[in-house]
């Protein structure tokens, strides 16, 4: 039969204590792992959101550059078509700014 001794009791108590301690450590590690998974998920969600914003900005910039290119080509065509008119408009603006500056100074 099994003889109960003080030594066996201490051994059983120690084993129980070690199991409890290991269970507590495993539970702590599981909580930390869950926290890291949540952080990883949040980082992934933010990356997707930021990627979407960047794609929208890229599309907007591309559209803006296309509009600028079209406006530039139309301006170039109009400058070539009416050379005399643009010189007169430029000269009128230059005279206006000179007169404005002179009246402002005096």
Lookup: tokens for 100: 């404005």
Q: State the residue range of the domain holding 64.
A: 6-81
- Residue 30 counted as domain residue: yes
Query: Per residue in 79-96, pLDDT tens?
Result: 777 777 878 888 999 999
Query: Per residue in 63-80, pLDDT tens?
Result: 999 999 999 998 888 777
- Residue 94 counted as domain residue: no
Asked if 79 contacts 86 with a C-beta cutoff of 8 angstroms, the reply is yes
- Residue 100 counted as domain residue: no
Q: State the Cα angle at 87 between 85 and 90, rounded to 5°.
A: 110
Q: State the Cα angle at 93 between 79 and 77, rounded to 5°.
A: 5
Lookup: tokens for 29: 């590690």
Question: pTM to 2 decimals?
Answer: 0.49
- Residue 21 counted as domain residue: yes
- Residue 26 counted as domain residue: yes
**Alpha-carbon span 102 to 105, nearest angstrom:** 5
- Residue 52 counted as domain residue: yes
Which letter does DSSP use for residue 3 in this model? P
């Amino acid at each position: 039969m099994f003889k109960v001794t003080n030594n066996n009791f201490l051994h059983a108590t120690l084993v129980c204590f070690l199991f409890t301690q290991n269970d507590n450590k495993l539970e702590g590690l599981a909580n930390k792992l869950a926290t890291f998974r949540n952080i990883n998920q949040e980082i992934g969600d933010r990356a997707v959101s930021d990627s979407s914003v960047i794609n929208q900005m890229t599309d907007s910039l591309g559209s803006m550059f296309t509009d600028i290119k079209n406006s530039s080509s139309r301006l170039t065509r109009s400058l070539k078509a009416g050379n005399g008119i643009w010189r007169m408009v430029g000269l009128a603006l230059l005279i206006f700014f000179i007169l404005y500056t002179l009246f402002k100074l005096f």
